[in-house]
A and B are shown apart, each in its own frame.
Chain A
Amino acid sequence: MGAAGLGEWIDRHARTFFIAPAVVLILIFAIFPTFYSIVFALSRVKFTGSGLRFRFVWFDNFLAQFSGNEQAHFLGKVNDMGPLGWAFSLLVAGLALWWLYRSWRNGATWVGMTGRVISAAMFVFVGWILGATLLSGNPWGTLLTTLFYVIVGCLVQFVIGTGLAFLCSQPISGKNFFRVLFFIPLMITPLGVGYAFKMVLDITKGPLQPLWDAIGLQGWAWSTDAWAARWFVILGDSWQWIPFVFIVMLAALENVSKDQIEAAEVDGASSIEIFREITWPQIVPVAVTVILIRMIEAFKIVDLPNIMTSGGPGIATESMTLHSYFLWRANDMGSSAAVAYLLLILTVVVCASFFNYVVLGQLRSAK
């Protein structure tokens, strides 16, 4: 091959050469560790003087999360379901079957049906755990705690963030100041937020101590009450992440066509009607996307419960990421990797379902 030929060959493969470094880096730093962690998830790992010793145990590390004393840690106390729990579980199962039947009748493809079956199975599974734990008066495990942070946390953050964005999109004085102010928490490291909230919410010597006393809560500690602790973790998480929702939704609201709003005002539409008929349809694609992004992030919550409560009281505030971290910290690498993979499966199924059945639906209707 002459010099001209070589030049042509390089030109033909230029795209590959440009992309290759990035692909190699991703393979080394992302894909390889992901696959290597499967080896951990399928093994019992022992630390020896000559390095790590792997004993292949197939899916034992996964199955351990669903049986024995680890079951209560991961799923909660599920062996003692009450009547309300049964009723709820059956209702969820019925809804899932009805949804599958309807999808089939509406001509869903085989690929579409496969996705729906996976989503429905997860829906029924979560419904069963919810019925066996919360609705039967039993403690729940790290799986439902994670979903609580994701669903309730994201909902709270979306409502408040969108509300603040709506206020700041109005012609009010000092709105630039509020934009900056509301954005600040997002720039603080979660670790810092955790410590800040732990100190602020300290009932004996924190700055809010007079407030606790004034409302008669001086003998009450939120950190020893399972539900209060979960809500306070969500409070800290929301304080940090509301700005993210706020900034994205503000951008969406400011892009809403002013002409249409003015035309509606001329036609005598009320503010609520304008928001419902003009503003909301235009911002809904952004809204569902921001919820999706926020959900993916929320599944990974670890810093706040670790710092504020160390996962306690008991395991009440322990998320799956924290569960995996505690196992890793105990050098139980196999179980830690298994919990991490279970979290990955949960995240993918929930977020893919939300994307397919909510985000895409809203995007299509927006067109």
Chain B
Amino acid sequence: MKIMKFAAASLLAAVGMTGLAASSSAGEFDGVTVNILTRPGPVIAGPLKERGVAFEKETGAKIVVNEVPFAEIFPKIQNDWTTGTNSIDVGVFAAGWGVELDAAGLLEDMDPYIAKDSKIDMNDIAPYFRDFGQKIGGKTKMLMVDGDFQMVYFRKDVLEKAGLQAPKTWQDYIDVASKIHNQDMNGDGTPDYGSCIFKKRNAQSYFAIQTVAASFVQTQGTAQGFHFDNATMKPIINNEAWKKAFELYKETGKYGPPEELNMDIGDTRALFKAGRCGLLIEWGDPGTLQLDADADKVKGLIYAVSAVGSKEVLDRATGKLVPVTKENAPNSVDGVNYAPFAAFGGWAGAINAKADEKKKAAAYAFLSHMNQAAQSNVDVTIGSTGYNPYRLSQLSSTDLWVKAGMPKELADNYLGAINGALNNPNMASDMKIPGAQQYTGVVLDTELARYLAGEITVDEALKNIEEGWEKITEDFGRDEQIKAQALALGL
């Protein structure tokens, strides 16, 4: 079914190739090879390869997709481009990681290409992704192929049967998970899990902890941020708010699969598609993945909430948690502070500034092709692509989604959740400063893993992260980081 859907999508794409970016035409890139580096497997890389074949037939440019483990994407690109190896022409990675590469002058400015591109329709890209995801210092340095938020998903049927509501706070999350844990959720006679979160080290666990922490730490809107004191770049992590987030995150493990600490995102996705998870923290993918043929046990049953919040928030002056009020959390709703986390920021393609001009032109044409509504509006409705909506035409109407097989009620919920996150004035941004991958993907990830494994206490973990983050800030230069943070948060 998945293959059929993708084949149909590819056919549509092939038909749509006649409307390729204005800058490209038949045979224009004959003999040009564009090397792309991104994550492995069918997710993200798959559509690049599939559409690359059609693109080659139409324009002559050969698209080669190189796949490396998630944790190696950024260092490999950085290594390749800074050392002058330049074997990679395009990197497809987290929108937030581009800042560090751009600071070294490694990213091609795409604005001149966009100016000549009549098909890309930048105004259709949601402002957050267009201005925060794609731009650095006011210039477009990346093109999105995906838009990302982490949300909480729940099994509607399981919660209804248990007489429970979708969680509003992280304490609710624990309560709901504890009540539905060990219930048989897929009718196979085996007890299933209250919560499923990918907690494997050196993978993507460090995003989920930020999803939990954001609502405890950020109260004054997106520009406040929740990692640093923006004036000094001192970490605001060794405090009661992050401590509570760490403790709650660990507690979810009581209601999760026994091997959760060694589970990557593919493992938890296999579980929820098999109907084994009551709650999960995920990106936009479960909305469409449940439509896959191998997810028949959960089709139409996995609903989303844009964010889970907290009734306590951080008092930054004291480092203590205090009850939510309209004064300390102006965006709170019914005494709950929400801060939906734009985890990862979405997968985006960036072009190596040192590639030769012909390659750059072909690379832009391909990224534009992937980004344009003609292709993107199909890709985001297919779960296996890993692409989530980022264009207004994808977010404003359920038509695309219903056409792709999503029940109307579910489509309303799904888009409602994403729009709720996107339009929340207290939306929490992922890091978009030099060293972002080291701050989170290395230091936060390692100490979190050690805490979850019981090697260190939560206080030790937070102290270690604080020290590690300070070291990175010193390495990059505190003043430079303060400027970068201000730019990233639009201060």
Contact = CB atoms under 8 A, between A and B. Distances in A.
Query: Is chain B a partner of chain A in the same complex?
Result: yes
A330 B83 contact: no
B336 to A, nearest CB: 32
A47 B475 CA distance: 12
Interface stretch (A17-25, A69-77, A163-171): A69-77
B71 A312 contact: no
Given A48-B82, A48-B104, A312 B261 contact: yes
A224 B453 contact: yes
Interface residues of B, number: 41
Contacts of A107: none
Interface string B50-90: 00000000000000000000011001001100111000000
A221 B71 CA distance: 24
B468 interface: yes
Given A312-B200, A312-B261, A312-B449, A51 B455 contact: no
B260 A314 contact: no
Contacts of A68: 467
Contacts of B201: 310-314
B330 interface: no
B262 to A, nearest CB: 4
Nearest to B437: A330
A40 to B, nearest CB: 13
Interface in B441-469: 441-442, 446-447, 449-456, 460, 463-464, 467-468
A316 interface: yes
B361 interface: no
A262 B50 CA distance: 71
A219 interface: yes
A221 B259 CA distance: 5
A309 B451 CA distance: 16
A204 B276 CA distance: 12
Contacts of B438: 330-332
Interface in B147-206: 200-203
Interface string A321-348: 0000010111110000000000000000
Contacts of A204: 257-259
A226 B262 CA distance: 12
Contacts of A52: 82-83
Nearest to B451: A314
Nearest to B201: A312
Interface string A35-68: 0000000001011110110000000000000001
Contacts of A46: 475
B449 A51 contact: no
A203 B104 contact: no
Contacts, number: 113
A315 interface: yes
A101 interface: no
B456 A310 contact: no
Contact of B262 (A72, A221, A329, A332): A221
Contacts of B257: 204, 221
Contacts of B447: 69
A313 B75 contact: no
A224 to B, nearest CB: 4
A220 interface: yes
A313 B453 contact: yes
A69 B451 CA distance: 14
A139 B450 CA distance: 10
B105 interface: yes
Given A44-B475, A315-B450, A316-B453, A331 B104 contact: no
Given A49-B104, A219-B258, A314 B450 contact: yes
A223 interface: yes
B106 interface: yes
Most chain A Cβ neighbours within 10 Å, of B71, B106, B203, B456:
B456
A314 B72 contact: no
B78 A72 contact: no
Interface string B418-448: 0000000000000000000110011000110
Contacts of B79: 47, 331
B467 A314 contact: no
Interface string A275-309: 00000000000000000000000000000000001
Residue from A46, A68, A73, A314 having most chain B Cβ neighbours under 10 A: A314
A47 B78 contact: yes
Interface string B239-264: 00000000000000000011111100
Given A310-B262, A314-B452, A51 B83 contact: yes
B464 A226 contact: no
B83 A312 contact: no
Given A329-B71, A330-B438, A312 B262 contact: yes
Given A139-B456, A226-B453, A310 B202 contact: yes
A330 B442 contact: yes
Contacts of B106: 49
B438 to A, nearest CB: 6
A235 to B, nearest CB: 16
A173 B261 CA distance: 47
Contact of B454 (A44, A202, A311, A314): A314
Contacts of A47: 78-79, 82-83, 104
Contacts of B259: 202-204, 221, 223-224
Contacts of A316: 453, 455
B449 A331 contact: no
Contacts of B261: 221, 223-224, 312-313
B82 A139 contact: no
Interface string A185-215: 0000000000000000011100000000000
A174 to B, nearest CB: 39
A332 B79 CA distance: 11
Contacts of B460: 72
A60 to B, nearest CB: 11
Contacts of A332: 438, 442
Contacts of B456: 72, 77, 139, 314
Contact of B78 (A221, A312, A331): A331
A46 B100 CA distance: 11
A139 B452 CA distance: 13
A329 B82 contact: no
Contact of A315 (B82, B104, B446): B446
B453 A329 contact: no
Nearest to B107: A49
B453 A72 contact: no
Contacts of B446: 73, 315
Interface in A241-299: none
Interface in A209-243: 219-221, 223-224, 226
A326 B445 CA distance: 12
B104 A313 contact: no
A114 to B, nearest CB: 37
The list of the 5 closest CB pairs from A to B, nearest first, reads A314-B453, A313-B453, A221-B259, A49-B105, A223-B262
30 contacts: A44-B475, A47-B82, A48-B104, A69-B468, A72-B460, A72-B464, A139-B456, A203-B258, A221-B259, A223-B261, A224-B261, A224-B262, A226-B453, A310-B200, A310-B203, A311-B201, A312-B200, A312-B201, A313-B261, A313-B449, A313-B455, A314-B201, A314-B451, A315-B449, A315-B450, A326-B442, A330-B437, A330-B438, A330-B442, A332-B442
Interface of B: 71-72, 75, 78-79, 82-84, 104-106, 200-203, 257-262, 437-438, 441-442, 446-447, 449-456, 460, 463-464, 467-468, 475
Given A47-B83, A223-B261, 11 more contacts: A47-B104, A51-B83, A51-B84, A68-B467, A221-B258, A310-B202, A311-B202, A312-B200, A313-B201, A313-B452, A314-B456
